[in-house]
Amino acid sequence: MRYFIELSYNGKDYHGWQIQPESVSVQEVLERTFSTYFRQEIKITGAGRTDTGVHAAQMFAHMDCDPIEELEDAVYRLNSFLPKDISVKEIFPVAKDAHARFDATQREYQYKVIQSKNPFLYESAFLVPQELDVDRMNEAAAILLTYKDFQCFSRSKTDVKTYHCDIVHAGWNWEDEILVFTIRADRFLRNMVRAIVGTLLEIGLGKMEVDQLHAIIQSKDRSEAGASVPAHGLYLTRVTYPESIKN
């Protein structure tokens, strides 16, 4: 049977989601733990590939295995075996052809910025102590919704067939002392969100004009955009699927 797994993880100690030689990944830890618990080889396919150090407040993955009798008990026991920085929230049956990556209709990321030194947030948000013009940053963020081709924000060496993404929301807001950038789209390119945030921060710092963003996007040149911000402030926060995937 095919099952979806809803999970979350702190990416600090992982070399991203995807299995890689000689590096510990979230996918590797999950497959090893699930295979041991279910006593069969389990392969797990995620909704996306978060990079080294990136977190997921909500991630989905799918697996095929023998029918699971007690789903809640399986979740409880799997969590007792998994390390403290990976948590399984739910496992549920889906249609036999449901796919965690290809059936996702929308993804949401958030990037967290703090403006003063905080010993409790330094590992989970990016410190930018200089004054930021958040209104200008939101003005620039609105420009993103008027474009589809985001090659300028993509990692240079990539094997994607298209750089087109349909961004439906992008904006900054304060959540107590944390400045949060939220962006939703049907898909994202590798390094895209971190490159966008880096560019918007340059606008907020007055190093770049708002209207320059048009020329950057139209250039399709990664070197024209701002530097990528550190991974530790980035979170995958939501993945959306059609109801039809459920069994």
Active site residues: 51
DSSP 3-state of 86? strand
**What is the separation of C-alpha 215 from the centre of its chain, rounded to a whole number of angstroms?**
26
Which amino acid appears at position 16 of this protein?
A: G
| φ, ψ at 225 (rounded to 5°) | -85, 170
C-beta separation of 204 from 213 below 8 A: no
Torsion of CA 151, 152, 155, 160, to 10 degrees: 0
The b/e string for 16-32 (b: 16+ C-beta within 10 A; e otherwise) is: bbebeeeeebbbbbbbe
Handedness of CA 59, 60, 63, 69 (dihedral sign): positive
Q: Give burial (CB, 10 Å; 0-12/13-18/19+) of 12.
A: middle
- 170 in the Ramachandran plot: left (φ > 0), alpha (ψ -120 to 50) or beta? beta
How far is CA 45 from each of CA 59, 61, 82, 124, 241, rounded to the nearest angstrom?
11, 5, 17, 26, 15
